[in-house]
């Protein structure tokens, strides 16, 4: 296989993170999101783009908002665990944000926006790390804006899917 093609097909955590960070910035250039929020949201999208649903070594990505509801909302264990609340919030951001168009056919995504907001707010209150408390507090406040930004990113990527940008 051609070396250039091999480079285009090789994706690792760093290239995925850079891809989502750059594209989020391009999609949200008119919205004043904080840089730490942008980096965090890009890391969520990057992580889930590289995580298999069959991964047995960590919590695999869920299939949809119904699974998020079953795993994180119906479980009493999530109520005071900052890490679990963060994971639940990130799953909601992924599905109610990046996959918003698809999820809105079966779920009330606006309700999930409020749920994600609540999860980050509770994660902020229960985290023992000051930087995370501040980040989660800001994410809770801007969560609905982030879901729309992620939806817009998905739409932009679908429209440009056939364009290979070579340096």
Reference 37, options 111, 147, 128; nearest CA is: 147
pLDDT at position 6 is: 53
Residue 115, domain member (yes or no): yes
Residue 70, domain member (yes or no): yes
Specify the number of domains making up the chain: 1
By three-state DSSP, how is residue 14 classified?
helix
- Go through the chain and tell me how many residues it has: 167
| Secondary structure E strands in the chain | none
Tokens describing residue 132: 């995370």
Residue 165, domain member (yes or no): no
φ/ψ (deg, to 5) at 127: -75, 145
Residue 166, domain member (yes or no): no
Residue 10, domain member (yes or no): yes
pLDDT at position 1 is: 45
Whole-number Å distance between alpha carbons of 63 and 70: 11
Per-residue pLDDT 10s for the chain (167 aa) are: 456 545 656 778 899 999 999 999 998 988 889 999 999 999 999 998 888 777 777 666 788 888 888 878 776 656 788 999 999 999 999 999 999 999 999 999 999 999 999 999 999 999 999 999 999 999 999 999 999 999 999 999 988 865 555 54
Residue 167, domain member (yes or no): no
pLDDT at position 100 is: 96
Whole-Å CA distances, 105 to 95, 98, 109, 121:
12, 14, 9, 27
Whole-number Å distance between alpha carbons of 19 and 9: 13
Burial 128-165 (b: 16+ CB within 10 A, else e): eeeebbebbbbbbebbbbbbbbbbbbbeeeeeeeeeee
Containing structural domain, residue 109: 3-159
Whole-number Å distance between alpha carbons of 18 and 24: 10
């Amino acid at each position: 296989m051609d070396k250039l093609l091999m480079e285009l097909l090789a994706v690792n955590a760093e290239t995925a993170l850079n891809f989502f960070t750059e594209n989020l910035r391009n999609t949200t250039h008119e919205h004043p999101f904080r840089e730490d929020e942008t980096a965090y949201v890009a890391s969520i999208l990057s992580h889930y783009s590289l995580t298999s649903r069959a991964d047995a070594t960590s919590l695999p990505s869920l299939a949809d908002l119904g699974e998020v509801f079953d795993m994180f909302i119906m479980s009493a264990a999530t109520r005071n665990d900052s890490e679990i609340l963060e994971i639940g919030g990130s799953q909601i951001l992924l599905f109610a944000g990046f996959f918003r168009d698809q999820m809105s056919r079966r779920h009330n995504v606006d309700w999930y926006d409020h749920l994600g907001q609540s999860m980050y707010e509770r994660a902020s209150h229960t985290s023992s790390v000051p930087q995370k408390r501040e980040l989660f507090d800001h994410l809770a406040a801007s969560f609905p804006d982030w879901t729309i930004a992620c939806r817009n990113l998905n739409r932009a990527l679908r429209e440009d899917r056939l364009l290979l940008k070579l340096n």
